[in-house]
Amino acid sequence: MHTVAATGILAGNHARALGKMEKVSQIVSDSASKSSPDNNGLFLWLWQNFLGKYKWYLLLAIVFMAVEGSMLGAVSYMMQPMFDDVFSAGSDTALWTVGITILAIFIIRGVTSVVQKVTLTYIQQNSSADLRVRMLDRLMQQDSAYHQTHPPGYLIQRVQSDVQSINGMWTAMITGAGRDTFALIALLAVAINVDWRWTVVAFIGIPVLVLPSLVAQRFVRRRAREARDIGAGVSTRLDEVFHGIIPVKLNRLEDYQSSKFRSLADQLVRTEVRVRIGSASLTGLVDIMAGLGFLAVLVYGGGEIISGEKTIGQFMSFFTALSIAFEPLRRLGALSGVWQVAASAIERIKEIVEAEPTLKSPPKPKASPKGVPEVKLQDVKLSYGDAKVLRGASFVAKAGETTAIVGASGAGKSTVFNLLTRLVDPQSGKVTINGVAVQQMALEDLRDLFSVVSQEALLFDESLRENILLGREDISPERLKEIMDAAHVSDFVDKLPDGLDTQVGPRGTNLSGGQRQRVVIARALLRDTPILLLDEATSALDAQSETVVQEALEKLSKGRTTLVIAHRLSTVREADRIVVMDKGKVVDQGRHDELLGRDGIYAELHRLQFSAKGETAEKRALEGAVVAANGKLMKPKRTFLGRLLKRLPRI
C-alpha cells in the first residue's frame, strides 16, 4: 500500500513538474521571440522607478569618483617633472616637491575611493531591496492563472538572480561611468597637453573595432537572456525535487533526478561560457587597439625624441598617461557586456513589475455586508480554456447554517471556493454575498469575510506564535490563550521545546499534521470572520487527530455561515444542507436523509463509502481511536465522534 501511495504521489509530482518545466520552456520561447526594448528606455525606467530617489547619494558618489579618477591624470602629469627636473636636472628641491605631491595624490585617491564605494554600496543594496519588494508585491497581486503559468522556481529566479545581476551592474556601470570616465578624461588631457598628434595616433585603431564590438554586444545580450531562462529551469527542477524528496527516495529516483539536473546544469554552463566569451572579447578588442596605438606612437614619436624635439620627461608623461588610460578604457569596454547581461535581467523585472493583475477591485466598490451573510450562486459558468469546470451551478448557503458540497473529483467543488474569494471570476452567472456581487466589493473587504481551513495546512518557517498571530499586534496574551484553548493548540504547546516560541520549520515540518491543522484553526478563530470555508480539513489526519480537530472545527463554525467540501460523507451527515455536484452542475441538494431517500448520486456515493464491510471497519477504527484517546468509549451525545458512532449500524 505504501508503494502504491508513493507511486501515486510521485506520478502527481512528476506531472506537476513536467507541466511546470513545459511552462518554463514556453516562457523562455516567448521571451526569446520578443524584441528587446531600447537600452535608454530600460535605464530611464530603472531611474524613474528605483534609482531616482537616491539621486543625491549618487551625486555625492560621482563627485568623489571624479576626484579619485582625476588623480590618475595627476600621477601621469607628475612624470614629466620627475624625469626632467629630478632625474635629469638633479634638483633636490624638485625631489621633495614631486615626492610630497605624489604622496598627497595617493592619499586623496584612497580617501575618495572609500567614500564613493560605501555610498555606492548603500545605493546598491537599497535599490535592490526596493526592486525585490516591488516584485514580490506585484506577484502576490497576480491571480492563480498567472501562477499556474509561472512556476515558483521561475519566479524565484526572477526575484533573486535577476536583481543580483542588476546589483552587480551598479558597481560596474556607475563606477565605470564615474571614476573611469573622469580618469580617462584626465589622462587624455595630460596626453593632449604633451602632444595632440601623438594622442590621435594612439587611438588610430578605434574605427576598426566599432563593427566587431556591436556584433559582440548583440551576442552577449541574446546569450544572457538564454542563461537567465535556463537558470529559471534549474530553480524549478530544484523546487520540485526538494518538495518531492520522499517520493524520490521511496522510488529510488536519485539517479534519474540527478541526470535531469545534470542536463540542465550542462546547458547553463555552455550558455554562461558563451556569455563570458562575448564579454571577454569586448575587452580583448580594447587590448588589440592599445597594442596598435603603442606601436603607432613609438614609430611616430620615437623620431622626435631622438631628434631632441621632445624630452624624455614628456615622453614618460605621455606614455604613463596612455598606459594608465587603456586600463579604464578596457573596463569601459567591458561595461557594454555587463550592461547587456543586466539589460536582459531588467527586461524580465520590468515585465513582472508592469504586469497588471487581471482581478482587481472595482473603481467604486460597494460596502461588504454586515453580520452573518447568505451565500448564493446563480447559474454560474466557468471554463479554463476548453475545459468546462462549472456548467450553470446554482445553490444557496443560508446565513448561519452549514452547507456541505460533495461530489466526485473534478465536479467543481474547489472552484466554488475560488469563486467566492475571487481567486477566479466566472464567465457568466452571479456569485453574491447577502445580495452583493463579489465583483462589486473591494478585494480586501471581500476576503476579510472569509476564514479558510484546508487539507493543506500551510505554515511559515517562523515561531508558533508568529504563525498564529500572522503579524497582528493587537492580541492580548489572554485572548491568545483563549484562542489556543478553543483550537486545542494548548494541548501540545507545552510539550514543545520553546513553547510558543518554537520554530515550526519550513512548511511546519516540525509539527504533526493534526498540530498544523489546529494552528490553522487558531488563525481562523483569530480572524473571526462571518464565513468559514472548510476544504477537506480532516481528510489527511488519523482518527485520533481528526477527533480533536473536528471538535475545534465545531467551535469555529458556531455563529457563522459555513461551507464544507468533503469526500468522506461521514463528516457532513449533520450539515444543514448538502449540495451534490456532478460535472460542474448542482444535481441535488437537501439533508442527509432526504438525499438517501431519493436514491441519486449522493446515495450511490454513500453506498460506495459505507458498504457493510466498510461501515464495520470504520466503526472499529473510530471506536479504537476513542478508546486510545480516552481509555473508554465516549458517550454518543457528548462529541461529534460519539454522534457519528451512534449513527453507524450495530456490528
For residue 434, tell me if it sits in a domain: yes
Q: Which residues of the chain have pLDDT under 50?
A: 1-37, 612-651
For residue 542, tell me if it sits in a domain: yes
The closest alpha carbon to 596, from 605, 587, 609, belongs to: 605
Alpha helices by DSSP H, 244-311: 245-250, 254-307
Q: Are residues 125 and 259 in the same domain?
A: yes
Q: Are residues 600 and 615 in the same domain?
A: no
> pTM for the complete prediction?
0.67
How far apart are the C-alpha atoms of 180 and 334, rounded to whole Å? 12
What local confidence, expressed as pLDDT, does residue 542 receive? 63
For residue 420, the surrounding DSSP H or E stretch is helix 413-420
Judge whether 431 and 438 are in contact, CB under 8 Å. yes
The burial of 357, by beta-carbon neighbours within 10 Å (0-12 exposed, 13-18 middle, 19 or more buried), is given as: middle
What local confidence, expressed as pLDDT, does residue 376 receive? 92
Q: Are residues 475 and 347 in the same domain?
A: no
Judge whether 301 and 310 are in contact, CB under 8 Å. yes
What local confidence, expressed as pLDDT, does residue 580 receive? 92
Provide the domain limits for residue 158: 2-352
C-alpha distance from residue 254 to each of 234, 247, 250, 268 (Å): 16, 10, 10, 21
End position of a domain, from candidates 577, 594, 609: 609
Q: How many CA atoms lie within 13 A of 396 on its CB side?
A: 7
End position of a domain, from candidates 318, 352, 386: 352
For residue 362, tell me if it sits in a domain: no
Q: Are residues 469 and 446 in the same domain?
A: yes
How far apart are the C-alpha atoms of 650 and 636, rounded to whole Å? 13
User: Which amino acid is residue 514, in one-letter code?
Assistant: G
Q: Are residues 301 and 336 in the same domain?
A: yes
Alpha helices by DSSP H, 150-253: 152-157, 163-169, 175, 181-194, 196-202, 206-243, 245-250
> What is the chain's length?
651
User: How much helix, strand and coil, in percent to the nearest 5, is found in the chain?
Assistant: 70, 10, 20
C-alpha distance from residue 418 to each of 387, 389, 422 (Å): 16, 12, 6
For residue 365, tell me if it sits in a domain: no
The string of pLDDT tens digits covering residues 438-497 is: 999 998 899 889 888 887 777 888 889 988 888 888 888 888 888 888 888 888 888 889
User: How far separated are the first and last CA of the chain, in Å rounded?
Assistant: 27
For residue 367, tell me if it sits in a domain: no
Tell me which residue has cell 587624455: 188
The three grid cell numbers given for residue 328, joined into one nine-digit string: 579604464
Please tell me the total count of domains within the chain. Answer: 3
DSSP single-letter state for residue 90: -
Q: Are residues 203 and 291 in the same domain?
A: yes
For residue 433, the surrounding DSSP H or E stretch is strand 428-433
What local confidence, expressed as pLDDT, does residue 35 receive? 40
Q: Are residues 493 and 629 in the same domain?
A: no
For residue 536, tell me if it sits in a domain: yes
- As a whole number of Å, the CA-based R_g of the chain is 35
Q: Three-class SS string for 492-531?
A: HHCCCCCHHHCECCHHHCCCCHHHHHHHHHHHHHHHCCCE
Q: Are residues 315 and 407 in the same domain?
A: no
Q: Are residues 322 and 388 in the same domain?
A: no
Q: How many CA atoms lie within 13 A of 258 on its CB side?
A: 5
What local confidence, expressed as pLDDT, does residue 184 receive? 83
Angle at 124 between CA 118 and CA 127, to 5 degrees: 135
How far apart are the C-alpha atoms of 189 and 70, rounded to whole Å? 10
Edge-to-edge strand list for the sheet holding 428-433: 387-397, 375-384, 428-433, 436-437
For residue 232, tell me if it sits in a domain: yes
What local confidence, expressed as pLDDT, does residue 222 receive? 76
Q: Are residues 236 and 292 in the same domain?
A: yes
| CATH code for position 136 | 1.20.1560.10
If DSSP codes are grouped into helix, strand and coil, which group holds residue 383? strand
Judge whether 419 and 412 are in contact, CB under 8 Å. no
The closest alpha carbon to 555, from 578, 576, 524, belongs to: 524
| CATH code for position 535 | 3.40.50.300
Q: Are residues 524 and 618 in the same domain?
A: no
For residue 58, tell me if it sits in a domain: yes
Q: Are residues 136 and 225 in the same domain?
A: yes
Backbone angles phi, psi at 426, to 5 degrees: -75, 160
